[in-house]
Chain A
Amino acid sequence: MGKRDTLGLILTLLSAAAVLIALGMVFLYAPREATMGDVQRIFYFHVASAWVGFFAFFVTFLAGIAYLARGGRRWDILALSSVEVGLTFITMAVVTGSLWARPVWGTYWTWEPRLTISALQLLIYLAYGMLRGAIESPERRARFAAVYGIVAFVTVPLSWFAIRWWRTIHPDILTGGEGMAITPRMVHTLLVSLAAFTLMYVTLLRARIRLERAADAVYRLRMEISQGS
């Protein structure tokens, strides 16, 4: 972060405070779940990180549409930055979900619909960055990434509805699925965690966008120097 980035500093401090409040609620406010015990406390940050991952890919999807409709490097920067932040959060969701599954289901991983789609989603968005790097022309790279970001987004609704469309052991928190009794205190903790993670996403996305702009500035300066010499 740059020295004069006051808004960035404020956002960072707000995000840190929000995450600490959420963490306090997870361990001090939310009750111990009757069936799963303390390991259920993974749930709050697990759901919040999955939400941010989905939201980040939705932003990439919208930025892709905006790029194809209007053009402009800023949409490409937004799409790329959101994928990078989203990937980090989806990785958190997959890994912590697996750690939650071990004591609850008796296994770290099972190839049921939600988990299979999550694994595929992770690979698809990892490939986004790799494929971008393989295209030389900035115009072609941005157009390809926009189309890829739009198509890849299909994994988000697919993952969301997987636990409703197919037989799965993954709990559905909205309909109060099997295996977990949600109390009002749990709902409050989850909502605060969702807000804290969303704020963290905005902060990280902004920092990532600034990084890409700095990379563009380096590219422009190099071009100026090479044209001048």
Chain B
Amino acid sequence: MPIYLVIAYGIFWGLTFVLVFSIWMRQRRLEREIAALEAQLERTPAQEKAAGDAGSDVR
């Protein structure tokens, strides 16, 4: 099989893999970030309340 044919098909697979992998990695990172931010958003009012309660106990 000619070497140029092998390289050409290698490039098709290689570039497709790079695009799929890069989308997948970025998606995973963003999903983790969304989960962390949502947790932070839910935690914030509760934590503020807890911090306020702790403050009143000290007093």
Mark A residues whose CB is within 8 Å of B: 1-2, 23, 37-39, 41-42, 45-46, 49, 84-85, 88, 91-92, 95-96, 99-100, 102-103, 200, 204, 207-208, 210-211, 214-215, 217-218, 221-222, 224-225, 228-229
Contact = CB atoms under 8 A, between A and B. Distances in A.
Interface residues on B, range: 20 to 34
B2 to A, nearest CB: 5
A52 to B, nearest CB: 11
Contacts, number: 84
A46 B8 contact: yes
Contacts of B15: 88, 91-92
Interface of B: 1-2, 4-5, 7-9, 11-12, 15-16, 18-20, 23-24, 26-27, 30-31, 33-34, 37-38, 40-41, 44
Contact of B4 (A49, A103, A207, A221): A103
23 contacts: A2-B31, A38-B5, A39-B4, A42-B8, A42-B9, A45-B12, A85-B19, A95-B11, A96-B8, A99-B7, A99-B8, A204-B23, A207-B20, A207-B24, A211-B23, A211-B27, A211-B30, A214-B30, A214-B31, A214-B34, A217-B30, A218-B34, A218-B37
A218 B33 contact: yes
A226 B10 CA distance: 47
A45 B20 CA distance: 18
Contacts of B34: 214, 217-218, 221
A214 B36 CA distance: 13
A37 B5 CA distance: 11
A84 B23 CA distance: 10
Nearest to A208: B23
Contacts of A225: 37, 40-41, 44
B37 A41 contact: no
B21 to A, nearest CB: 11
Say whether chain B's binding surface is mostly helix, strand, loop, or mixed.
helix
Contact of B11 (A38, A99, A208, A214): A99
A220 B31 CA distance: 14
Contact of A99 (B1, B4, B26): B4
Given A88-B18, A218-B30, 9 more contacts: A2-B27, A39-B4, A99-B4, A204-B20, A207-B24, A211-B26, A221-B37, A225-B41, A228-B44
Given A38-B5, A99-B7, A225-B44, A88 B27 contact: no
Contact of B38 (A23, A102, A215, A221): A221
A204 B19 CA distance: 8
A99 B31 CA distance: 39
Nearest to B9: A45
A2 B34 CA distance: 12
